[in-house]
Amino acid sequence: MSTDGEPTKAGAAGYRVAEGCTLRPREGVLVLSDIEIANAAAMDRITDVGRDRLGIPEEHLVPYGHHKAKVDLRYLATLEDRPLGKLVLMTAISPTPAGEGKTTTTVGLTDALQGLGHRSMACLREPSMGPVFGMKGGAAGGGYAQVVPMTDINLHFTGDFAAIAAAHNLLSALIDNHVHHGNELEIDVRSVTWKRVIDLNDRALRDLVVGLGGIGNGYPRQDGFDIVVASELMAIFCLTESWADLKRRIGDIVVGYTRSKAPVTARDLGAHGAMTVLLRDALAPNLVQTLEHAPAFVHGGPFANIAHGCSSVVATRAALRLADYVVTEAGFGADLGAEKFVDIKCRKSGLRPDAAVVVATVRALKYHGGVDVPELATEDLDALELGMANLRRHLHNIREVYGVPCVVAVNRFPTDTDAEVARVVELCAAEGVRAFPARHFAEGGVGAEDLAKGVLELLEEPSPHEFGFTYDDDLSLTAKVEAVAARLYGAREVTWDGKARRRLERIEADGYGALPVCIAKTQYSFSTDATLRGAPSGHELHVREVRLSAGAGFVVMVCGDVMTMPGLPRRPASDHIDLADDGTILGLS
Amino acid sequence: MSTDGEPTKAGAAGYRVAEGCTLRPREGVLVLSDIEIANAAAMDRITDVGRDRLGIPEEHLVPYGHHKAKVDLRYLATLEDRPLGKLVLMTAISPTPAGEGKTTTTVGLTDALQGLGHRSMACLREPSMGPVFGMKGGAAGGGYAQVVPMTDINLHFTGDFAAIAAAHNLLSALIDNHVHHGNELEIDVRSVTWKRVIDLNDRALRDLVVGLGGIGNGYPRQDGFDIVVASELMAIFCLTESWADLKRRIGDIVVGYTRSKAPVTARDLGAHGAMTVLLRDALAPNLVQTLEHAPAFVHGGPFANIAHGCSSVVATRAALRLADYVVTEAGFGADLGAEKFVDIKCRKSGLRPDAAVVVATVRALKYHGGVDVPELATEDLDALELGMANLRRHLHNIREVYGVPCVVAVNRFPTDTDAEVARVVELCAAEGVRAFPARHFAEGGVGAEDLAKGVLELLEEPSPHEFGFTYDDDLSLTAKVEAVAARLYGAREVTWDGKARRRLERIEADGYGALPVCIAKTQYSFSTDATLRGAPSGHELHVREVRLSAGAGFVVMVCGDVMTMPGLPRRPASDHIDLADDGTILGLS
């Protein structure tokens, strides 16, 4: 993907190709696009990947074509007594327009671990289809570190998002239907917070009035569509453990309030059973492979701002029973994705990361040091040193707050100078953290071999830290936000909109005070100002809005603008996406 | 399904079970629900069904789980030189609340043909998910004449409808996006006819205003959602022959008009390539099996009023190359479904039915003879005779207008008396048509053995008729409607709303006059008045609205109210649909 780095010149000139990787650059063409690489991939049958790499008998794989499969949940339940593998969390510095390459590094590290003879596995989020036709493109890694089949994964895949959308929208329809047929529950339609969803970028649906056209069409009210990844149902899906747990959580969803301000749940509307039926098959994790045939679960994909931004607990837990090393990615930088991985996903599931890898690039560090995009190709050791402040704070948070041992992956770009890369390694060493340059984008797994060895070494050492959460359950919601702001963001204080404060009080009064918080703020800065690069301190964290996700089990603190329905650009990517007469998909990136 | 009849008493007492059918009624329980029967079915692996029943090598089946598969389009292209099997069209008298059982009879006949040693196959429409949670329930046959896996087929199945919805809504988003970014094409937003779609019953989405909330959200305009089966894209999907043809037809879709009244197409918006990519996998037909392991394609499902109501051409053509006898169902009664099968699907594809089966029930004939639902269980030979007028006109249309030889299937209900059934057979004989009582609902394939033998006999005889269309391409659109009204409906004249007339003129001026017409009227009567049972004559066919489906290639004549987005009832079926902790789906009907 465009933000995931490019092949190194060395790689492009004399491609070293990982063993087991059947790809070669086309003659005379030095740089292939992601889709060219992916379309040329010689994939193993997924039943072979499951059997040979993970020991899953064929009858427990539910195939979706020859290269995707779901692993039967009933089979996974039989593995409960197996020891768990080591869990490696892939996180990153604060994202920049320069690109970091977290998914790519997750895939590269998994391939490298496999190349070293280990049973390894990646756990990734499913890409949203909307951005594929918009600006961002897909999200299945890039270069020679991809999961395949790339076009399938980026489009309908195994139908999980469609299932989540159907279940979400069934609840929406049941709300309006209930009101239309007499409103027994006395729902105050002005208070309905459960919107509708679609897996497209469509700004026209952000804000609308439904129920027009007269009596037969129900009561008009203001409503809106979010993109599917923003659905609370997506977060529930990714935090749940079983069908029974899924149904319970769905029942707990608060869709709005009665005229006397009591919460109305999906259970009150009798919607939870049918919604769970719609998600039955989707809940089984999706097995695919990397270009080097390492197994990967790609399952679930909640936003990393209004939700927790991690792939499913079901997939992570299954992977830990099937493989010795599991690499999983959290969204955005370590202040958002890793924090939520720890404080939401780990807290709720009991999962614990054994180590973390923090992805950084020379370009991104220079950007954090004040260099703007057009100048990023020029060597600048001073800016690099300044930008280290960002990485340094993330390292501190991961080790001292979450208590997780970590290494740094320096994802190399062609414009990086050797001096710059050496300086990053040196500066990390000064922090007591090993950093490993990696060339998996251009070289596949062998390009991340040093990184893999570093991770294995780290996993062998006794951890000097003790795993912990940023805050305890029994703090008030306010104190929880304050803990995150002070301990992780370097903020001076937390301030509140009056409306947010009142909503918070209502939520605590309704009995949701023991939930963890999920902070939605810009991913580009430790502050709420996207332009403050590096490691700003002493700023104010202003909570503009508070939202309850009672089914997922967290309270969202919205700090700044959060877009839950993207738009399309003037020239959307769909302009160039096409199907050749022989069925080849062209132009997807 | 509830409208598809019930087991006979004889059947329930001493169930005869078809050979190859592994089901038995539970002890002490005489009548099982459809889902109980379906959940208990011992299905063959779909790869075995494909290989053993149709000779498809496993590598050309794209599995979706172990019991559903798509047949690779590239493999189907290699079968082009094979001779075609015989095509049997399943149609019916005008539907009544008493239930006829067309899908059930399609399955029963297919099973019976297989039981007699023939290579037979069914081609059915995919059910829409919306009604499953509403009132109607699913649509995969009923009793011992079902296609399975029933719950899969009725819910997400292989994702075809989700893919059609995504492609449809991408075009919708691109329209508003184009207008938002400057409206180069000068689209008149008031003239946009391309709405949005969702596969749910949701009345609140029928009529809405999108684009509210300020500049960033685009231009407000009136819009609405249809259910997916009402999408023109669904009709295109079912009439297309190949990926290239699909892209061409999608490009031809007219989404609205410019300010100077020129049509704006999906091609003008650059949407056709990406939309075709979204439908690439969906276009391959879905293979499933009957309870007796006969192969069935379940593929595509357009409305039978504003569209042509038949499963896909791709599936029918593939089935005719793979099997010796193909039974396919058209929507509603023979005045709507069969007419469109002939005048739209056959006209465009070159396919020709070798025979037709007209499904009737004693109950439905009595209803057409004036008996109301509560009295249908009482023997009434006079009403039966009166109601024969409805069947008689359908038989006339099928034989004399379409020129297709036919037999009648009398789908038996427990309340039918032997005298009543004998009278139907006798009245049909007076028309020169053989009628065969059938008990496939209660007995599976053996219950339709007589019917199968009758169809085989009919297929051996030289046809006294010559296949023909109701009208020629070169008639004006007006004359085409008049031909259908006069020749099939017994109408005296066709009248027009002024607006409809002006729209018709515009459509002809734009060069679409050579297209066939698709008449949308009530399915319950030959007239446009749903309460006129039997065979009304001398009525007026009033065209209220005219819609262009330029991609599908027909012009829709809307006569009366056509609902393209159903609502949910006060107590929707979703109330009772639930997932047991072990993953069993309950309450689907």
Tell me how close the Cα of B138 comes to any Cα of chain A, in angstroms. Answer: 14
**Which residue, A391, A384, A388, is CA-closest to A357?**
A391
Work out the pLDDT band at B19, boundaries 50, 70, 90: very low
Exposure letters B269-294 (e unless 16+ CB within 10 A, then b): bbbbbbbbbbbbbbbbbbbbbbbbbb
Chain B interface includes A448 (CB < 8 A) = no
Q: How far apart are CA A381 and CA A369, in angstroms?
A: 10
> Whole-number mean pLDDT of chain A?
93
Residue B78 touches chain A, beta carbons under 8 Å:
no
Distance from CA of B240 to the nearest CA of A (A): 14
CB contacts of B587 in chain A (<8 Å) are: 273
Point out the annotated binding site of B for ATP: 96-103
Across the interface, whether the CB atoms of B567 and A208 are under 8 A apart is answered: no
Q: Pick the closest to residue A445 from A155, A23, A96, A50 (CA basis).
A: A23
Q: Is A101 annotated as a binding residue?
A: yes
Does B226 contact A at CB distance below 8 Å? no
Which of A565, A543, A561, A390 lies closest to A481, judged by CA?
Answer: A543
CB-based contact B206 A213, cutoff 8 Å: yes
What was the pLDDT predicted at A399?
A: 97
Out of A63, A174, A216, whose CB is closest to B574? A174
CB pairs under 8 A between A and B: 232
Picking from B37-46, B180-189, B491-500, which range would have the lowest pLDDT averaged per residue? B37-46
Q: Is residue B199 less than 8 Å (CB to CB) from chain A? A: yes
Using the Cβ of B572 and the Cβ atoms of chain A, whether some distance falls under 8 Å is answered with yes
Alpha carbon distance B308, B340 (integer Å): 5
Average pLDDT over residues A286-299: 98
Question: Nearest by CB to B277, which of A203, A579, A582?
Answer: A579
DSSP A258: B
Separation between Cα atoms, residue A206 and residue A214, nearest integer Å: 23
* Interchain contact, B204 vs A181, CB within 8 Å: no
Residue A405 annotated as binding site: no
Task: Give me the residue from B208, B243, B281 closest to A210, CB to CB.
Answer: B208
> Which residue of chain A has the CA closest to B273?
A578
Q: What is the pLDDT of residue A10?
A: 27
Residues of chain A with Cβ-Cβ distance to B152 below 8 Å are: 281
Least confident of A16-20, A261-265, B427-431: A16-20
What's the pLDDT score for residue A137? 67
pTM confidence score = 0.94
How do residues A388-429 score in pLDDT, each as one tens digit?
Answer: 999 999 999 999 999 999 999 999 999 999 999 999 999 999
Return the pLDDT at A37.
Answer: 87
CA distance B275 to chain A (A): 8
Binding residues of B: 96-103
DSSP B511: T
Per-residue model confidence (pLDDT) at position B340: 98
Say how far apart CA A446 and CA A438 lie, in whole Å: 9
> What was the pLDDT predicted at A98?
78
Looking only at the bridges linking them, the beta strands covering A517-520 and A554-558 are parallel
Burial (Cβ within 10 Å: 0-12, 13-18, ≥19) of residue B378: exposed
ipTM value: 0.94
Three-class secondary structure of residue A484 per DSSP: helix
Task: Kindly list the residues from chain B whose CB atom is less than 8 angstroms away from the CB atom of residue A242.
Answer: 581
Counting residues of chain B whose pLDDT is more than 90, the rounded percentage is 88
User: What pLDDT was estimated at residue B207?
Assistant: 98
Place of tokens 């007591």: A432
Min Cα–Cα distance to chain B from A533, Å: 27
Set of chain A residues whose Cβ sits within 8 Å of the Cβ of B583: 73-74, 243, 280
B247–chain A nearest CA distance, Å:
8
Distance from CA of B211 to the nearest CA of A (A): 4
Q: Do B277 and A588 touch (CB under 8 A)?
A: yes
Q: Shortest CA distance to A578 belongs to which of A569, A588, A567?
A: A588
* Interface contact B208-A206, CB threshold 8 A: no
Q: How far is A22 from chain B (nearest CA, A)?
A: 21
Decide: A15 and A25 in contact? Cβ < 8 Å. yes
Q: pLDDT (tens digit, 9 = 90+) per residue, A189-205?
A: 999 999 999 999 999 99
Contact A270 B575 (CB under 8 A): yes
pLDDT value at A25 more than 50: no
Architecture of domain A24-156+282-359+437-444: 3-Layer(aba) Sandwich (3.40)
Q: B270, A166: Cβ pair inside 8 Å?
A: no
Question: pLDDT value at position A7?
Answer: 30
Per the CB < 8 Å rule, is B581 touching A156?
A: no
Domain definitions of chain B by residue range: 24-156+282-359+437-444, 160-279, 477-559
A151 is in an annotated binding site: no
Instruction: Select from A182, A204, A274 the Cβ nearest to the Cβ of B211.
Output: A204
Pairing, β A435-438 against β A406-411? parallel
Superfamily of domain A477-559: Formyltetrahydrofolate synthetase, domain 3 (3.10.410.10)
What does the block give as tokens for B297?
Answer: 């394609």
Q: Does A422 touch chain B (CB under 8 A)?
A: no
CA atoms within 13 A on the CB side of A523: 26
pLDDT above 70 coverage of chain B, percent: 94
* A75–chain B Cβ distance below 8 A for any pair: no
A172, A200, A213 ranked by CB distance to B173: nearest: A200
When pLDDT is cut at 50, 70 and 90, the band that residue A247 belongs to is very high
Separation CA B368–CA B534 (nearest Å): 5
* Burial environment of residue A382 by CB neighbours within 10 A (0 to 12, 13 to 18, 19 or more): exposed
User: What pLDDT score does A224 carry?
Assistant: 98
Q: Does B154 touch chain A (CB under 8 A)?
A: no
Beta-bridge partners for A209: A222, B209
Given an 8 Å threshold on Cβ–Cβ distance, is A174 in contact with B217?
A: no
Q: What is the pLDDT of residue A97?
A: 87
Q: Is the pLDDT of residue B125 over 90?
A: yes
Partner residue facing B270 (CB), from A176, A273, A575: A575
CA distance A276 to A279: 5
pLDDT band at B13 (very low <50, low <70, confident <90, very high): very low
Q: How far is CA B331 from the centre of its chain?
A: 4
How many whole angstroms separate alpha carbon A150 and alpha carbon B251? 26
pLDDT recorded at residue A31: 65
CB–CB contact A574 B176 (8 Å): no
Nearest-Cα residue of chain B relative to residue A267: B575
* Residue B15 in this model has a pLDDT that exceeds 70: no
Q: Which uninterrupted H or E stretch holds B147? A: strand B145-148
Chain A, residues 238-257, CB within 8 A of chain B, namely 242-244, 247
Q: Which of A196, A200, A577 sits opposite B277 (nearest CB)?
A: A577
Closest residue in chain B to residue A131, using alpha carbons only: B170
Q: Do A216 and B567 touch (CB under 8 A)?
A: yes
Confidence label for B33 from pLDDT (cuts 50, 70 and 90): confident
Residues of chain A numbered 270-299 and touching chain B (CB < 8 Å): 270-271, 273-274, 276-278, 280-281
Q: Cβ contacts (< 8 Å) between A588 and chain B: which residues?
A: 277
Q: What is the DSSP letter of A125?
A: P
Give the span between the Cα atoms of A553 and A249, in whole angstroms. Answer: 8
Quick check: A74 and B583 CB within 8 A?
yes
Instruction: Say how many C-beta atoms besides its own lie within 10 A of residue A214's C-beta.
Output: 10
Residues of B in contact with A586 (CB under 8 A): 273
Residue B41 is predicted with a pLDDT of 86
Q: Which among B333, B318, B310, B305 is positioned nearest to B236, based on CA atoms?
A: B310
CB proximity under 8 Å: B 310-369 to A: none
The mean per-residue pLDDT over the stretch B345-357 comes to 97
B278 and A155 in contact by Cβ < 8 A? yes
Predicted confidence (pLDDT) per residue in A455-505, tens digit: 999 999 998 899 999 999 999 999 999 999 999 999 999 999 999 999 999
B65 inside 8 A of chain A by CB: yes
CATH superfamily to which A160-279 belongs: Domain 2, N(10)-formyltetrahydrofolate synthetase (3.30.1510.10)
Residue B192 forms contact with A (CB below 8 Å):
no
At B31 the pLDDT is 65
Q: Is residue A9 annotated as involved in ligand binding?
A: no
> Is the pLDDT assigned to residue A364 strictly greater than 80?
yes
pLDDT band at B310 (very low <50, low <70, confident <90, very high): very high
